[in-house]
Amino acid sequence: MSLSRNTLNEKWFLKNILPATFDNSSVSSNVSFAYIDTFKKKIGFLKLLSTNLSFKKAPNSIFQTSEVIDYMIDSVILGYTCFLHMDELRNDAVYASIKGHKLPSEKVCRDLIKAMSGSSLKELKLINKRLLEMQANGKKRDVVMNFDDTVCTIFGKQEGASVGYNPRYHGRPSFKEKLGIIANTNELVDITLEDGKHHTNNGFLDFVKSCERQLPDCLKIKRIRVDRGAFDHNNMSYFEAQGYEYVIKAKNQAWIKCFIDEVNRKEHLYPWTQIDKTFSANEIYAKMPAWEKARRIVIIRKKLPNHKNGQITIDLDEFKYEYQAIVTNIEYMTPTEIFHEYNQRCDIENKIDELKEGFAFDQNSQRNKLCNEIFLLIKMIAYNLHNWFKQAILPEFMRHHEISTLRRILYNVAGNIVGNGWYKHIRYPNVPLLKTIIPQIRKALMSFSLV
C-alpha cells in the first residue's frame, strides 16, 4: 500500500514538472517601453543626443556615440542600471524590435564612457538643459529650488572617493553628490560627484551658480530651500543680492541658542504661536557677529516631555523643548507658514531616495572618476526624460508614483507584440488597471505636441 502511494506521488510530480520550449520571441517584460520610445521619437531625442555630442567613434564602429548613450538611457529607465545587466535588455527580442536596429553590448557601453573626455561632461549637461528647455516650451514661470547633498558609499577602489562622514557605513570610502531640484515638478537641474570628505557648504555657491546656468531662460528662481549644512553668511548675502527668497535651517551655534534664550526670557514681548499640540512658532530679528545686518529668525519649539534628543534642548517648567531655527528673508509669511514652507524641502530627500533606489545614482562602480561622472550625467538625463514622460503622458493619478512602482505596474508587465502593419498591437494580461491606463497613455501620445 505504501509503495503504491509513493508511486502515485511520483507520477503527480512528474506530471507537474513541466517541460519547456524556448521559441517564443514575442513575449517580453519590457513591452510597455514601446510607449516611452514613441514619446522619445516625438521629441526628437536621438537627434538631441547626436547634435550635442562631439565625441566620434572609429569609422568602422557599428554604433555611433548617440546610439550607445540612447541605449544606456533606456537601460536605466527600465531598471538595468548595472553594465552587466544591460545585456539582458540587449537579448530581449521585443525591445530590439521596438528599437528597430542592433543593440550594443555592455562592453561597448563601458568602452565608450572610458574613451570619452572631460568635454563630454559639459555636452551631457547641455543635453540635460536642452531637455528641460523643451519641456518648459518657452512658458515663463518662477521656480522654487531645493538643494541638498547625499553620501554614496563605494565598495571598491574608485578614484576620487575618500573616507568622510558616512552615517550608515562608518569608515567606508564614499562620494558626495550635490543636487539641485525644482520643487513640485521634480526636474533635476544639476548634480556633482565630489570627494566624500566634502562638507555640504564646500563649493556650494559655485554649485548654485551652475544650476542658474543650467536652468532654461524662461525659468526664474524665486525661492531657495536649504538645510543647515549650507547655513552661511556668504550664501544668504548672495541670495539677497540676486533677489531670491530663501529659507535656511540654522546650525546649532551658540548665538542661535542666545536668541532662543532671549525669546523665552521676553515671552511677554515675543508670544509663542501654537501650530499644533506639539509645535509652536516664534520669531526674532537679530544679528550674528559675522552678519552686516539683522535677519529674520523663525524659531520652532517642539514639546518633548521626558525625552532626550540631539537638537537644542532647554528645560522649561515640566517639559523639555527641542528647538530649531530657520533664517529667512520672506516677510509676508507668518512664522507658522515659514515652518510649513521649510518642511516642503523634505521632498528632495524623498526624491534622492528614488534616484538612488530607482536610478542607481549611488552606484559608482567604475575605477575612473570621469567614467563615474559621465554615467551619472547619463542617469540624470534618463531621470529627466522619464520625469517628462510621466508628467506629460501618464494618467494624472500615476504622476506621483516613483519609478519602482511604475516598473511593477506598467513597464515590467509581460506582454506580446502581435500582428503586422496597422494590425500590430500589444497583448497584455487581463489586468483591470492596465485596461484603464493604456488607452489614456495612447490618447495622450496621439495628442502630444511640442508646438
Give yes or no for residue 207 having a pLDDT over 50.
yes
Compare 349 and 209 and report the one with higher pLDDT.
209
Is residue 244 situated within a structural domain?
yes
| Alpha helices by DSSP H, 44-169 | 45-52, 65-78, 83-90, 93-99, 106-115, 119-136
Let me know whether 287 and 383 are in one domain.
no
- Structure confidence at residue 310 (pLDDT): 52
Kindly report the average pLDDT of the chain as a whole number: 90
Q: What is the pTM of this model?
A: 0.91
**Half-sphere exposure for 57 (CA within 13 Å, toward CB):** 17
Q: What are the CA-CA distances from residue 301 to residues 65, 120, 283, 304, 441 (Å)?
A: 55, 49, 11, 9, 47
Is residue 338 situated within a structural domain?
yes
Let me know whether 266 and 334 are in one domain.
yes
- Structure confidence at residue 173 (pLDDT): 84
- Structure confidence at residue 4 (pLDDT): 66
- Structure confidence at residue 252 (pLDDT): 85
- Structure confidence at residue 313 (pLDDT): 54
Phi/psi of residue 46, each to 5°?
Answer: -65, -35
Mean pLDDT, to the nearest integer, of 6-25? 74
pLDDT single digits (tens) 235-264:
999 999 999 999 999 988 888 888 888 888
Let me know whether 314 and 396 are in one domain.
no
| Residue % of the chain over a pLDDT of 90 | 67
Lowest mean pLDDT among 80-94, 255-269, 276-290: 255-269
pLDDT single digits (tens) 25-68:
778 899 999 999 999 999 999 999 999 999 988 888 899 999 99
Residue 31's domain spans which residues? 27-120+369-447
Let me know whether 254 and 324 are in one domain.
yes
Let me know whether 256 and 328 are in one domain.
yes
Phi/psi of residue 178, each to 5°?
Answer: -90, 140
What DSSP letter does each residue of 184-207 carry, written as one string?
A: TT--EEEE--EETT--TTTTHHHH
- Structure confidence at residue 1 (pLDDT): 46
Let me know whether 340 and 233 are in one domain.
yes
Residue linked to cell 555657491: 205
Is residue 73 situated within a structural domain?
yes
Is residue 158 situated within a structural domain?
no
Is residue 97 situated within a structural domain?
yes
Is residue 249 situated within a structural domain?
yes
Residue linked to cell 567606508: 172
* Of the residues 311, 344, 377, the one at which a domain ends: 344
Compare 314 and 117 and report the one with higher pLDDT.
117
- In the chain, helix, strand, coil percent, each to 5? 45, 20, 35
- Structure confidence at residue 318 (pLDDT): 46
- Structure confidence at residue 422 (pLDDT): 83
Let me know whether 327 and 382 are in one domain.
no
Number of structural domains found in the chain: 2
Is residue 252 situated within a structural domain?
yes
Is residue 163 situated within a structural domain?
no
Phi/psi of residue 241, each to 5°?
Answer: -65, -30
Q: What are the CA-CA distances from residue 420 to residues 130, 186, 353, 425 (Å)?
A: 36, 39, 42, 8
